[in-house]
Amino acid sequence: MLDGASGVVVTVGHAGRARFGLLRRHRTPILLLLPSLSLLGAVVAYPILDTFITAFFKTDPMGRRTAFVAFDHFRALAKDSLFRQILGQTALWTVLSVSLKTLFGLVAALVLHTGLPGMRVARLLVILPWAFSLPIAAILWRWIYDSQMGMLNLLLTTIGLTGHTWLADPGLAFGATLTVSVWTGVPFMALVFLAGLQGIPEELYEAGRIDGAGRWQEFGYLTMPLLKPTFVVATLLSAVWTFNSFVLVHVITGGGPLHATDILVTFLYKSAFEWLSFGQASAMALVTFFILLVFSVVYVRLYYREEMLSQ
């Protein structure tokens, strides 16, 4: 089956035939790709298409489309002050969480990269939280935040501060949930930055030292610029994941109290599976899709433009 990359080349001239010839000529790679493409088609491409269509329809509680309503769902969303609040919270959530993950991850990587005694063990310990699945991390933190029996309040009272009802207080729940998000994201950042640091040739530092660069100059003019590609990829991936942090929010607070911790994905999920307004939820899914798409494209474009300018 894997043999026979050579197909018969059909005479050019008739467009349909030529395309058919193309298919036959590349029959082997197409056949080899078929399982992957059908899997992605069934699980990713088709559902996205269907969701896009549903976004313009009224639906029954089973999710079936009943009547075309054009942009009604989107208009309703634009007017909904709760939805706007959730959009703002999602932006704040993503920006704050990714910034803190990056900061702590970078510091961790720099510390681990010093190669001082004990750093090999420390590396394992720093990336350990990565092994825990997000649902389990969320369960664990719910227990840590427990106002009566939780150990965070014990820790705070031990060092002379006061405890709080972290998850029931709308003013605190967002920060508390965000902390968990940062905690779960630092290992990836540390690991990636560590890999980036290890990829910088030692000779560059030697050259820098010969030219009389101090430690901070070394960091500012050598390490940081050379880490930039790593930085871009890592923060982009992290931003997409953080934006999508359904599990943490769902398990820790369920989006409450009073939607204080809801982000786009949890709100969308509730809209579909609790309130059964599938049309509205599909419209939100479309918004989510485009936010991620635009974000990724702009982010990568900005980076490459800078790359070109600096050359």
Partner 1 sequence: MNLVRTGAIYLLLGLLLFGMLFPFYVMLVTSLKPMGEVFTSPPTWLPRAPTLRSYIEVWRAIPLGRFFLNSLIIALGAAGLTLACAVPAGYALARYRFPGRSLVLYAILVTQMFSPVVVIITLFKVLTAYRMLNTYASLIVTNAAFALAFSLWMLTGFFQSVPREIEEAARIDGCTTTQAVLKVLVPLAAPGVATTVIYTFILAWNEFIFALTFISSTRMQPLTVGLASFIGRFTVEWNNLMAGSLLATLPVILLFLLVERHLVKGLSAGALK
Site for partner 1 in 200-259 (CB under 8 A): 229-230, 233-234, 240, 243-244, 246-247, 250-251
Q: Where are the alpha helices (DSSP H) in the chain?
A: 15-25, 27-40, 46-54, 72-79, 81-113, 119-127, 134-144, 151-158, 170-198, 202-210, 215-218, 224-243, 246-252, 264-273, 278-310
Which residue in the set 69, 106, 178, 186 belongs to the binding site for partner 1 (CB under 8 A)? Answer: 186
Bridge partner residues of 57 (DSSP): 68
5 binds partner 1 (CB under 8 A): yes
Residue among 227, 4, 249 at smallest CA distance from 134? 249
142 binds partner 1 (CB under 8 A): yes
Q: Which is nearer to partner 1, 46 or 71 (CB)?
A: 46
Contact assessment for residue 77 and residue 287, using Cβ atoms and an 8 Å cutoff: yes
* Binding to partner 1, residues 48-77 (CB under 8 A): 48, 50-51, 54, 62-64
Least distance (Å) from partner 1 to the CB of residue 21?
12
Least distance (Å) from partner 1 to the CB of residue 43?
4
Q: Which is nearer to partner 1, 196 or 255 (CB)?
A: 196
Which residue in the set 9, 67, 95, 154 belongs to the binding site for partner 1 (CB under 8 A)? Answer: 154
166 binds partner 1 (CB under 8 A): no
How far apart are the C-alpha atoms of 98 and 92, rounded to whole Å? Answer: 10
Least distance (Å) from partner 1 to the CB of residue 191?
6
101 binds partner 1 (CB under 8 A): no
Torsion of CA 254, 92, 112, 123, to 10 degrees: 10
* Binding to partner 1, residues 9-48 (CB under 8 A): 22, 26, 28-30, 32-33, 35-37, 39-40, 42-44, 46-48
How far apart are the C-alpha atoms of 48 and 60, rounded to whole Å? Answer: 19
108 binds partner 1 (CB under 8 A): yes
Contact assessment for residue 284 and residue 264, using Cβ atoms and an 8 Å cutoff: yes
Q: With contacts defined by CB under 8 A, how many residues of the chain interact with partner 1?
A: 100
296 binds partner 1 (CB under 8 A): yes
Radius of gyration for the chain, computed over Cα atoms and rounded to the nearest angstrom = 25
Residue 67 DSSP symbol: E
